[in-house]
């Protein structure tokens, strides 16, 4: 493979302008991430300390191998919502425990008692999906008051999937280890109860379907926490607990010992001596426009992500608005699809062809998404842009090799589907801070709505209020912009996290290691292609 060349001038006005805008967005990212690390009010943290408890992130760190990388996922889930704040009441991600890749989920018991709001539930379900897809054992560090009761109507039906998924992973040979540090009540009692291994910390774990007040109300029986659902009782009488730990550190040590007995990870480690890109990844901040309407050559991104900036481009002279080709990232061979403009019929056919080739050879796919959609107009409709676009979406939907998507700019309309958006279940999906996702851009969307209103007024024989229309247009542009930016989308869990563009190569390298843990043998079967 030949190294890519770059035409970027780091001294240009546009480079400096893009860099300044992106640095401002990264400042907002840092602020949001700091907010997501909130672990409760001081009085709750002090109370936990006095009781000999560690905080959620301290437990997680102690569980990980020394110097293990840790990929935190969905850290801003719930951002901008009405719940418990960004990240909810869990910390989750992937790291090494006893040399094995595993998913770790730690309840933040010092924030709202670790109760589960809607965003926290959706985050937990997504973490479970990632664990299942990538054959990752799960370690639950449990301290949760259960469902946030004011939100029970939104939580109850979906919450049952948490317990279902534990058992389905177990059936697939993917174990769950739960260490209970505090309350795990009501439905939460089923988390350790349905886990493959359950470790209860003495004098701290309290696990019961109904606490003493509810038992009193239901049966008139008076009972204390410890005799009803304490760690000692469950370890010596009920058998719900498999191990009684003297303290939190022993509980985590036992979890690590159990993990050490599991089969070793099948994922090969990233190649440590892989060549870094020939071009500085820091330059990405000056290359990527903060305005997704401004085009950028996808090859400039690729050159700063892949090993040695080497890239074997497939069909470079045809369907040029979609760049396709092979490269290596931290030693892993990958197929890359990157947008270089709107999708025409040629680009769609080229992408479908390339996806088939990667499935044939078992090559993971990387989608660098920056697309405003498919080309529209009379000539393009007559030429069958729908059926050509359908071929690409068909190929994406039925691709069986692992896929990782990075939203590098715009993600509008069916272009989102064609480039492995969230609905098409990539193994991982991350966004840059300036990314936008919507049916179409704000100006286009409001323009379409205004055209419909004008036509409606004309048919009714009514005057069209231009002043009111201008006010509505400005309002709609503002609302669509707010609901399509990266902060809104990550708060809605439409991605697995917003990342610094300069860290793209690191994220991809780690995720490629993870996806190798569940190798696939593509069948090469697809749905019917329309010709």
Of the residues 260, 290, 306, which one is the last residue of a structural domain?
260
Contact status, residue 138 vs residue 126, Cβ threshold 8 Å: no
Residue of 60, 24, 223 whose CA lies nearest to 140: 60
Residues 431 and 394 both lie in one domain: yes
Query: What is the distance between the alpha carbons of residues 359 and 527, in angstroms, rounded to a whole number?
Result: 14
Query: What is the distance between the alpha carbons of residues 99 and 204, in angstroms, rounded to a whole number?
Result: 29
Contact status, residue 289 vs residue 18, Cβ threshold 8 Å: yes
User: What is the per-residue pLDDT for 522?
Assistant: 79
Evaluate the CA torsion angle 500, 506, 512, 515 in order and state its sign.
negative
Residue 287 lies in a domain: yes
Structure tokens at 342: 């709107």
Residue 531 lies in a domain: no
CB atoms within 10 A of CB 522: 16
Q: CA triplet 282, 284, 288: central angle to 5 degrees?
A: 155
Residue of 247, 113, 116 whose CA lies nearest to 180: 247
**In angstroms, how far is CA 186 from the centroid of its own chain?**
28
Q: What is the DSSP string of 185-224?
A: EGGGGHHHHHSSEEEEETTT-EEESS-HHHHHHHH-----
Residues 154 and 196 both lie in one domain: yes
Q: What 8-state DSSP symbol labels residue 4?
A: P
Structure tokens at 142: 């449990």
Q: Where are the alpha helices (DSSP H) in 399-441?
A: 414-418
pLDDT 10s digit of each residue in the chain, 531 long?
899 999 999 999 999 999 999 999 999 999 999 999 999 999 999 999 999 999 999 999 999 999 999 999 999 999 999 999 999 999 999 999 999 999 999 999 999 999 999 999 999 999 999 999 999 999 999 999 888 888 988 898 889 999 999 999 999 999 999 999 998 887 778 899 999 999 999 999 999 988 888 888 888 888 888 899 999 999 999 999 999 999 999 999 999 999 999 988 877 776 768 999 999 999 999 999 988 788 899 999 999 999 999 999 999 999 999 999 999 999 999 999 999 999 999 999 999 999 999 999 999 999 999 999 999 899 999 999 999 999 999 999 999 999 999 999 999 999 999 999 999 999 999 999 999 999 887 787 788 888 888 888 888 888 888 888 888 888 888 888 889 999 999 999 999 999 999 999 999 999 999 999 998 887 878 888 877
Residues 478 and 490 both lie in one domain: no
Number of folded domains that form the chain: 3
Angle between helices 466-482 and 442-460 (to 10 degrees): 150
Query: What is the distance between the alpha carbons of residues 13 and 22, in angstroms, rounded to a whole number?
Result: 14
pLDDT tens track for 153-172: 889 888 999 999 999 999 99
- Each residue of 448-482: b (16+ CB within 10 Å) or e? eebeeeeeeeeeeeeeeeeeebeeebeebbeebee
Residue 260, classed as helix, strand or coil, is helix
Of the residues 229, 260, 291, which one is the last residue of a structural domain?
260
Consecutive H or E run containing 19: helix 13-36
pLDDT tens track for 36-71: 999 999 999 999 999 999 999 999 999 999 999 999
Q: Which structural domain, as residue segments, surrounds residue 473? A: 442-483
**In angstroms, how far is CA 326 from the centroid of its own chain?**
24
Residues 358 and 408 both lie in one domain: yes
Residues 468 and 354 both lie in one domain: no
Residue 188 lies in a domain: yes
Residues 23 and 141 both lie in one domain: no
Show Cβ contacts of residue 467 under 8 Å, excluding neighbours closer than 6 positions: none
**Paired strand residues for 312:** 326
Residues 320 and 422 both lie in one domain: yes
**N- to C-terminal Cα distance for the chain?**
33
Residue 116, classed as helix, strand or coil, is strand
Percent helix, strand and coil across the chain, each to the nearest 5:
45, 20, 35
User: What is the per-residue pLDDT for 442?
Assistant: 78
Residue 499 lies in a domain: yes
CB atoms within 10 A of CB 383: 14
Structure tokens at 439: 């049916």
From residue 217, how far is each of 212, 221, 222, 435, 443 by CA, in Å?
9, 8, 9, 52, 58
User: What is the per-residue pLDDT for 69?
Assistant: 95
Of the residues 235, 260, 285, which one is the last residue of a structural domain?
260
User: What is the per-residue pLDDT for 528?
Assistant: 84
Residue 19 lies in a domain: yes
Residues 388 and 430 both lie in one domain: yes
Q: What 8-state DSSP symbol labels residue 370?
A: E
Contact status, residue 491 vs residue 76, Cβ threshold 8 Å: yes
Contact status, residue 515 vs residue 427, Cβ threshold 8 Å: yes
**Dihedral of the alpha carbons of 207, 188, 79, 95, in degrees to the nearest 10:** 80
Residue 529 lies in a domain: no
Strands (E), 394-505: 403-412, 428-431, 436-438
Residue 365 lies in a domain: yes
Residues 392 and 288 both lie in one domain: yes
Contact status, residue 346 vs residue 315, Cβ threshold 8 Å: no
Residues 312 and 371 both lie in one domain: yes
Structure tokens at 488: 């809104």
Strands (E), 9-117: 70-72, 90-97, 100-107
CB atoms within 10 A of CB 12: 11
CB atoms within 10 A of CB 213: 8
CB atoms within 10 A of CB 52: 11
Structure tokens at 113: 């008692």
Q: What is the CATH number of the domain that holds 302?
A: 3.90.226.10
Residue 412, classed as helix, strand or coil, is strand
Residues 43 and 62 both lie in one domain: yes
Residue 469 lies in a domain: yes
**In angstroms, how far is CA 234 from the centroid of its own chain?**
36
Residues 366 and 456 both lie in one domain: no
């Amino acid at each position: 493979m030949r190294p890519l060349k770059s035409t970027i001038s780091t001294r240009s006005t546009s480079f400096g302008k893009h860099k300044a805008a992106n640095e401002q967005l990264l400042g907002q990212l840092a602020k949001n991430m700091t907010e997501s690390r909130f672990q409760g009010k001081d009085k709750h943290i002090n109370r936990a300390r006095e009781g000999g408890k560690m905080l959620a992130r301290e437990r997680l760190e102690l569980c990980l191998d020394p110097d293990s990388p840790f990929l935190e996922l969905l850290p801003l889930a719930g951002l901008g919502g009405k719940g418990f704040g960004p990240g909810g009441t869990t910390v989750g991600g992937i790291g090494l425990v006893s040399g094995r890749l595993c998913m770790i989920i730690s309840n933040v018991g010092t924030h709202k008692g670790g109760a589960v709001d809607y965003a926290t539930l959706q985050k937990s379900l997504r973490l479970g999906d990632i664990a299942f897809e990538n054959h990752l054992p799960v370690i639950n560090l449990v301290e949760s008051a259960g469902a946030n009761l004011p939100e029970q109507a939104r939580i109850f039906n979906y919450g049952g999937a948490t317990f279902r998924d534990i058992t389905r992973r177990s059936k697939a040979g993917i174990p769950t280890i739960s260490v209970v540090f505090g309350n795990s009540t009501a439905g939460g009692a089923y988390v350790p109860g349905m886990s493959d291994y359950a470790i209860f910390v003495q004098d701290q774990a309290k696990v019961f379907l109904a606490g003493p007040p509810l038992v009193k109300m239901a049966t008139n029986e008076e009972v204390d926490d410890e005799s009803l659902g304490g760690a000692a009782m469950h370890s010596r009488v009920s058998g719900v607990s498999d191990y009684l730990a003297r303290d939190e550190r022993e509980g985590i040590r036992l979890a690590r010992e159990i993990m050490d007995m599991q089969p070793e990870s099948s994922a090969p480690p990233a190649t440590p001596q892989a060549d870094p890109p020939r071009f500085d990844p820091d330059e990405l901040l000056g290359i990527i426009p903060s305005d997704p309407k401004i085009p950028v050559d996808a090859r400039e991104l690729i050159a700063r992500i892949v090993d040695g900036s080497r890239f074997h481009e497939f069909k470079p002279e045809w369907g040029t608005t979609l760049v396709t080709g092979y490269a290596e990232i931290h030693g892993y061979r990958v197929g890359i699809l990157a947008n270089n403009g709107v999708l025409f019929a040629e680009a769609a056919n080229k992408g479908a062809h390339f996806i088939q080739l990667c499935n044939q050879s078992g090559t993971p796919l990387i989608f660098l998404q920056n697309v405003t959609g498919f080309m529209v107009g009379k000539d393009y409709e007559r030429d069958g842009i729908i059926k050509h676009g359908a071929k690409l979406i068909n190929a994406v939907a039925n691709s069986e090799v692992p896929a990782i998507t990075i939203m590098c700019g715009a993600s509008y309309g069916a272009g989102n589907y064609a480039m492995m958006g969230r609905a098409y279940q990539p193994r991982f999906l991350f966004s840059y801070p300036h990314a936008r996702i919507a049916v179409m851009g704000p100006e286009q969307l409001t323009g379409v709505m205004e055209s419909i209103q004008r036509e409606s007024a004309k048919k009714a024989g009514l005057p069209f209020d231009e002043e009111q229309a201008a006010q509505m247009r400005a309002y709609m542009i503002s609302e669509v912009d707010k609901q399509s930016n990266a902060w809104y989308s990550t708060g809605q869990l439409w991605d697995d996290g917003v990342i610094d563009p300069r860290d793209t190569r690191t994220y991809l390298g780690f995720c490629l290691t993870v996806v190798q843990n569940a190798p696939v043998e593509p069948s090469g079967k697809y749905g019917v292609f329309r010709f």
